[in-house]
Structure 1
Amino acid sequence: MSQIKVSYFDVDGGRGEPIRIVLHAAGIPFEDFRFGYGEFADVRKTTPLGQVPTVNIEGVQYTQSSALLRYFGKAADLYPQDPFQALLCDEIIDGSEDLTNKLVASFGLQGDALKSAREAFVTGPLTLYLGWMAQKLAAQGNYFANGKLTIADLKVFMLLRWLGSGQLDHIPTDSVTRIAPSLQAYAERIGADPVVSSYYQARAAK
């Protein structure tokens, strides 16, 4: 694989970050095209579906973050070859997307409407999905699938970090700790994993 360009917001998180980490883990060079939120209106005009991340491979632009994550995850040996383990991995990835979409539905709201929507999100979907993830993790052990780090872990790690970042109004930064403390400990462990830490060390060195 060569001439790869990842286009996503200039943030160390979100749907694009796991793709960047997996490419780094696979030793695949790529152009990391980052842009500010104010530039998105122009960038989206150049994308197939008006959304990011996109990945340009040999001059052809591809979309859908989970599909891209699976594709590159295979190259990095971070996606299970066993069909059942792949199911466990995919279930968590799709669940993470479900929860993210429920949160994104509140974007654009303001004032009391935003406060009400976010509070309902915390007591409803967030509590439900984090509880479900905690049960899944407990059933499998240290990782969600395959007995080792997979792209599912990267996906959940980014989501948990975002929830605790303080960037989301009306979502307490200790929500994960209060709802599913095992996931908070899990996120700290994944953040220290060599696959993840080496990516950020390389990024800091640039």
Structure 2
Amino acid sequence: MPTYKVLYFDAKGRAEVIRLALTVAGQDFEDVRYVREEWEKVKPTIPQKQLPCLQVDGRYIPQSGAIMRYVGRAFGLYGASNDESTSIDVVFGATDDFMRNLITMYYEKDEAKKAELKKDVEQNKTGPYMDILEEILKENNGGDGFFVGDKISMADILVFDMLDQVTAMITLPDFPPKLGALIDRVKTYPKIKEYLAKRK
């Protein structure tokens, strides 16, 4: 049985979706969290010198997108067919598009410009992103289950985690009905519910 280590900082960030996916899979993993001083010491030993990184039996896998897909394929969270995997990738792509706006806003140094970017994200970017997700949900058996097929996948875990984390940066509007119901389903998924209750 492989051993897994999730390497990241002491934060949710880009590693949290990986932690959640391993939790859903029922896979034990070591949650390695570096403070900045520790990270500077180990950084030269990590592929691409960035985090998150997944260690599987000592082998390093960098890049959060690659890690998500690896974990998804390894534990049946990446669709049951090529079509389903592609549908998950569509959700990944839409989320990446939305996150680019947030990252630009987050790293903006000029406070006035940052406020403008935040307003633009809240008024012009968040609603259309949620509408896209709502339509994707409706296309899958009317939207009363998950994004793809009839069970939880990386798409559901990613969207839940991203929308959970961005509340620290922006004010979210009310979720469309299908999306709101999905978020509740993921949040109350037994293994996730247990994880969230113990999370730092």
> What is the TM-score normalised by the length of structure 1?
0.82
Q: What amino acid sits opposite 1:136 in the alignment?
A: I
Q: What is the RMSD computed on CA atoms of the aligned residues?
A: 2.5
Q: What amino acid sits opposite 2:31 in the alignment?
A: D
Determine which of 131, 135, 143 is the counterpart of 2:146.
143
Match of 1:163 in 2: 166
Match of 2:83 in 1: 84
Q: C-alpha separation between the residues in 2 aligned to 1:181 and 1:163?
A: 19
Match of 1:196 in 2: 192
Contact 1:2 1:30 in 2 (8 A): no
> Per-residue CA shift, 1:95-152, capped at 9, x if unaligned?
2122112211122324211101111122233222121111111222221101221010
**Cα distance change of structure 1 residues 176 and 21 upon mapping to structure 2, 3 Å threshold:** same
Contact 2:84 2:149 in 1 (8 A): yes
Match of 1:183 in 2: 179
Q: Greater shift after overlay, 133-142 or 152-161?
A: 133-142
Q: What amino acid sits opposite 2:95 in the alignment?
A: S
Match of 2:63 in 1: 64
Q: Percent identity?
A: 28
Q: What amino acid sits opposite 2:162 in the alignment?
A: L
Match of 2:128 in 1: 128
> How far 1:41 moved relative to its partner?
6.5
Q: What amino acid sits opposite 2:156 in the alignment?
A: D
Q: C-alpha separation between the residues in 2 aligned to 1:184 and 1:40?
A: 39
Q: C-alpha separation between the residues in 2 aligned to 1:176 and 1:22?
A: 26
Match of 1:113 in 2: 113
Determine which of 149, 152, 156 is the counterpart of 1:153.
156
> What SS does the corresponding residue of 1:183 show, helix, strand or coil?
helix
Q: What amino acid sits opposite 2:82 in the alignment?
A: P
> How far 1:78 moved relative to its partner?
1.6
> How far 1:192 moved relative to its partner?
0.4
> Per-residue CA shift, 1:47-73, capped at 9, x if unaligned?
333432111223332112122112112
**Cα distance change of structure 1 residues 105 and 27 upon mapping to structure 2, 3 Å threshold:** same
Match of 1:94 in 2: 93
Contact 2:102 2:121 in 1 (8 A): yes
Q: C-alpha separation between the residues in 2 aligned to 1:49 and 1:125?
A: 31
> What SS does the corresponding residue of 1:32 show, helix, strand or coil?
strand
Contact 1:8 1:52 in 2 (8 A): yes
Contact 1:8 1:33 in 2 (8 A): yes
Q: What amino acid sits opposite 2:75 in the alignment?
A: A
Q: What amino acid sits opposite 2:52 in the alignment?
A: P
> What SS does the corresponding residue of 2:14 show, helix, strand or coil?
coil
Q: C-alpha separation between the residues in 1 aligned to 2:43 and 2:114?
A: 25
Contact 2:53 2:60 in 1 (8 A): yes
Gaps of 5+ in 2: none
Task: Tell me how many residue pairs correspond in the alignment.
Answer: 195
